[in-house]
Structure 1
Amino acid sequence: MPIFVFLIIFSFIFYLFYKVKYFRTQLPAEKKWLSAKSSMALGSFVFFFGLNTLINPLSNVAIVVGIVLILIGAASFWAGLKSYKFYLPHAIKEAEYVKEQEMKEKTITN
């Protein structure tokens, strides 16, 4: 189905987007938060790939591979979601601290 192809491409693009942001940031809590988001995107990519495999099964092997991909994708998404919820408050505190430090530096230099 074309909808699954769109979702596969969409989730893979988000995975790449979050990985690029992960490598560009220097803050440790934000790195873990972005890693969790990329894990969720990769999990959805694998999940939708497995669903797409099950739409037109060519053999019993395709059915088994599709089910395995769905289970792995769902587990990866779930683990990423738990990690995202855990690191979100830490990333917010870290961003507020960095913003506060930048404000202090601006007042000192002026």
Structure 2
Amino acid sequence: MIIFSACILISLVLYIYYKVMVVRAKDPLTQEYLNSRSKIFLGSLVTFFGINQYLAYQTRLSLFIGIVFVILGIIQFRYGWKASKHYQREYSKQQSY
């Protein structure tokens, strides 16, 4: 239980960090890359939150809500991961010119 709480806290801090870095960045490509990184941590935050809620209450309702949160978190994580890899390649192409 403590492990999931720590993962939730770490994911929240990194999500906020990357969102602040998006605002501070001037280059649109860098903004998109940082935004995709923040989506990775948002997905992990939602996933860990869903697991933690089920473990805390262990009812049928919390199971269904936890499953929805885990599915949405995995989708968000996967989308952020793919976008991050895409923008990372684009950034390396831009640096080579």
> Which has the larger Rg?
1
Distance 1:30 1:91 in 2: 8
Task: Give the alignment's Cα RMSD to 1 decimal.
Answer: 1.6
| TM-score with structure 2 setting the length | 0.92
Q: How does 1:27-38 map to 2 (within 5 A)?
A: 27-38=27-38
Could you list the per-position Cα deviations for residues 74-99 of structure 1 after superposition, in whole angstroms to 9, with x for gaps in the alignment? Answer: 000000000001000222344x37xx
The answer to whether residue 20 in structure 2 is matched with residue 20 in structure 1 is yes
Could you list the per-position Cα deviations for residues 33-77 of structure 1 after superposition, in whole angstroms to 9, with x for gaps in the alignment? Answer: 000000000000000001111213342211100000000000000
| TM-score with structure 1 setting the length | 0.82
DSSP 3-state at the match of 1:35: helix
Distance 2:46 2:39 in 1: 11
Distance 2:89 2:60 in 1: 45
Q: Identify the residue that residue 61 of structure 2 maps to in structure 1.
A: 61
Q: Identify the residue that residue 108 of structure 1 maps to in structure 2.
A: none
Q: Identify the residue that residue 9 of structure 2 maps to in structure 1.
A: 9
The runs of 5 or more residues in structure 1 that have no matched partner are: 101-110
Distance 2:88 2:10 in 1: 23
Amino acid at match of 1:82: K
> What number of residue pairs does the alignment pair up?
97
Q: Identify the residue that residue 45 of structure 1 maps to in structure 2.
A: 45
